[in-house]
Amino acid sequence: MDRRSGHPQGGTAARPPRTPPHRAPSNHPPPSRLRLTRRARVLGRALFGAASALVLVAAGIGWYLHSSVLGGLATSHALAGLGPAGSSGGDLNILLMGLDSRRDNEGNDLPAAILRQLHAGTSSDVGGYNTNTLILLHVPADGSRAVALSIPRDDYVNLPEGLGSHKIKEAYGRAKANAEAVAGSTGTTDRAQLEQLGREAGRHAAIDAVEQLLGVTVDHFAEINLAGFYDLANAIGGVQVCLRAPVDDSYSGADFPAGVQTLDGAQALAFVRQRHGLTNGDLDRTHRQQAFLASAAHQLESAGVFGDLGKVGALLDVARKDIVVDSSFDLLSFMHQAGAVTSGNVTFYTLPIKGFATEDGESVNLIDPAQVRSVAQRLLAGQGPDGPGPSASASSQPVPAMSGPAIPQVAAEGSVRTSAPVTRRTEHVGGKHPHTVTVTVPVTQTPAPVISAPPGVPCVN
């Protein structure tokens, strides 16, 4: 068979050559080859060479800016072996992990000035390696509104990798301890190497736990330590927040009047760490973190930071000290894609819990994993927390705490859906593993006075 013609090579007579059709003689002379003078040829080569040089220079400048701005960021390979990259169909799922450790990215004690602001002792061992902040940021490929899902840190789940049933925040620390013990048993004694091995194992387990709970693939992650909130607030000249009522908490150091105010680094730490004296404890602390991030993002956008490479570089000086990202995370490309995030077009939700209990002597959140996954999937698909339809907007009515599948908290326009006042009752649950459950029930109460806040600054209780 002739591959070009499709006819058998043998047994078929060859076709006679085709005779070109007769054409009338033309009055035009045949085309001649364009001939340039030697001077024109030299000039043409020079112009072509100059254009090539400009392309190379532009590429070099781009590489230099990319490398100088992003160079030095601590990176991790913790995503290896988890969900397939790019399986989100062009959308991005980015896990933000806030580490409640008194150590920096290399395992060294945080600066004494920061430790003094934590109001929880100066020992670097306090806080362990718990991920007290777990926020899945979903960035749609079409540039529409982004969604941020906060996972309460005390949710009681079955951790991956044989770690057992514990609070989801403990996946990091338990996996880190296990990895260091294994490495130590095989002769590894270098402290820095053990820290690195442990951190990678901790990140991997924490991401794995989130993927399994929510049924998602994490495309990228960013881990920030406690110092990050401190340094970020100082780097941008303070972050505006809005409180509906005054607070005075000796545990975190939060001592703020009601209304709009600008927090410096030390105050920002107290603000995002407060849970004592708040109606819903840790859940309200999650709302504080959401409000801080929403306000900081709006402030950076208003100042034109995301569109100014020089300002981005200054901001990343902070990131180099306090943040670890996955090795494939290109922050410049992300800023081009994530217009909704950099413009503050983000809605924050806190995923639901069923109640409270005590396990192994510790207070935990009881959840229905199937319900949590279902709610997360709906929100990531752009639907409302209760079913089909658009996600809640700033004009939506407040959703009482734990009375529905999800608690929308902070909207892009700067408003917060606050939880209604609640009361708690305890119920004894029998069975194979008897325990006490605390059920939270919304109650009616006169709403707090309305406080006017600037655009992009959410108000929280």
pLDDT digits (tens, 9 = 90+) for 327-343: 988 776 776 666 667 66
Quickly state the pLDDT bin for 392 (edges 50, 70, 90).
Answer: very low
Q: How many CB atoms lie within 10 A of CB 311?
A: 15
- Give the model's pLDDT for residue 275: 85
Of residues 454 and 212, which shows the higher confidence score? 212
- Give the model's pLDDT for residue 36: 58
In single-letter form, the type of residue at position 317 comes to D
Rounded-to-integer distance, Cα 331 and Cα 376, Å: 25
Element (H, E) at 232: helix 226-235
**Contact assessment for residue 294 and residue 458, using Cβ atoms and an 8 Å cutoff:** yes
Fold topology of 76-460? Aminopeptidase (3.40.630)
Quickly state the pLDDT bin for 282 (edges 50, 70, 90).
Answer: confident
Residue ranges covered by each domain of the chain: 76-460
350: three-class secondary structure by DSSP: strand
382 pLDDT higher than 80: yes
- Kindly state the tokens that stand for 187: 């002769």
Element (H, E) at 270: helix 265-273
- Give the model's pLDDT for residue 405: 38
In single-letter form, the type of residue at position 327 comes to S
DSSP alpha helices (H): ranges in 99-145? 112-117
List residues bridging with 262 in a β-sheet: 240
**Contact assessment for residue 217 and residue 211, using Cβ atoms and an 8 Å cutoff:** yes
Closest to 162 (Cα-Cα) out of 154, 173, 171: 171
349: three-class secondary structure by DSSP: strand
The reported pTM is 0.72
Of residues 323 and 433, which shows the higher confidence score? 323
Helix 226-235 vs helix 265-273: angle between axes, to the nearest 10 degrees? 140
157: three-class secondary structure by DSSP: strand
**Contact assessment for residue 95 and residue 213, using Cβ atoms and an 8 Å cutoff:** no
Mean pLDDT of 166-178: 95
What lies within 8 Å, CB to CB, of 366 at 6+ separation is: 156, 353, 354, 355, 356, 357, 437
pLDDT digits (tens, 9 = 90+) for 367-380: 999 999 999 999 99
- Give the model's pLDDT for residue 446: 43
457 pLDDT higher than 60: yes
Quickly state the pLDDT bin for 228 (edges 50, 70, 90).
Answer: confident
Most confidently modeled range among 126-135, 257-266, 434-443, 445-454: 257-266
